[in-house]
Amino acid sequence: MAEYQLYCFAQSGNAYRAALMLNLIGADWEPIWIDFFGAMTQRTPEFRTDVNEMGEMPVLVHGKRKLSQSGVILTYLAKRTGKFKPKDEDEELEVLRWIIFDNQKVNGFLGPFRFLKNFAKPAGDPAVLAFLKGRIDGNLAIVNKRLTGRRYLIGDRPTIADVSMAGYLYYPAEEFGFDIANDHPAVGAWLGRIKTLPGWKHPYELMPGYPLAKG
């Protein structure tokens, strides 16, 4: 058995944050696939009792620990390994600021938008999608400005803030209906830099469950 196990599925940008971090730090880990769209394992009483009472992914298992929420998982792995961690208290606060902004404003809108557009049956209301798209554009513009003239969100080296922000941004443009890298050039250049880090893989390569079974 691997040192770490990660409950995940390929379509989850939240799970991708944790999976990507595990790969970037060179951890001995293995995925545990959750059938989110079919059996909806995450909603079963057994999952909520034995794995995560919140009924969400990702969940990281390390020994007797079971950790959920991607920001917690990233923080745990950074502290444990010393990789991608903030260098001091000021940087730690700045990293936390961008993780919260990402979770609430960037991937926090991209995730629901992509789900409603691609996976929901019936598809999302066009008015709702238009509202979410407007918020996405505005918030990505903030990130684009931040990355203009910077290599990474906090400075010249990547931190868990960058791993968090990458959550949904590598999924195919056709799943969103717009090209994030093209519309926000500084974000696109930053995504290119993240891709050069040893251990980077696309979410559909890194986690099980792609492609979805048709039915």
User: 85: pLDDT confidence band, cut at 50, 70 and 90?
Assistant: very high
For residues 65 and 117, membership in a common domain is answered with no
CATH code, domain carrying 18: 3.40.30.10
Q: Is residue 215 part of a domain?
A: no
**Are 182 and 96 in a shared domain?**
yes
Domain contains 143: yes
| Whether 14 and 71 share a structural domain | yes
Tally the domains of the chain: 2
Is there a contact between 205 and 165 (Cβ–Cβ < 8 Å)? no
Helix, strand or coil, per DSSP, at residue 154 = coil
> Cα(204)–Cα(49) distance, rounded to whole angstroms?
29
What is the reported pTM?
A: 0.96
- 8-46 pLDDT, tens digit each: 999 999 999 999 999 999 999 999 999 998 888 898 999
What mean pLDDT is reported for the chain? Answer: 96
76: helix, strand or coil = helix
Q: Tell whether 99 and 191 lie within a shared domain.
A: yes
Task: Note whether 95 and 74 are same-domain residues.
Answer: no
Are 67 and 97 within one domain? Answer: no
| 48-75: pLDDT as tens digits | 999 999 989 999 999 999 999 999 999 9
For residue 169, give the nearest of 34, 16, 18, 26 by alpha carbon: 16
Residue 17 placed within a domain: yes
In-domain check, residue 147: yes
pLDDT > 70 fraction of the chain, expressed in percent and rounded = 99
The reply to whether 116 and 72 lie within a common domain is no
Backbone phi, then psi, for 57, in 5-degree steps? -115, 155
Domain span including residue 141:
89-195
Please tell me whether residues 96 and 77 are part of one structural domain: no
Cβ-defined contacts of 136-139 (< 8 Å, 24+): 136/106, 136/109, 136/110, 137/183, 139/101, 139/105, 139/106, 139/109
CB 102 within 8 A of CB 146: no
Tokens of 48: 């909520």
**Residue 186, SS3?**
helix
pLDDT at 199: 98
CA 30, 72, 50 angle in degrees (round to 5)? 60
CB 8 within 8 A of CB 29: no
- The reply to whether 152 and 123 lie within a common domain is yes
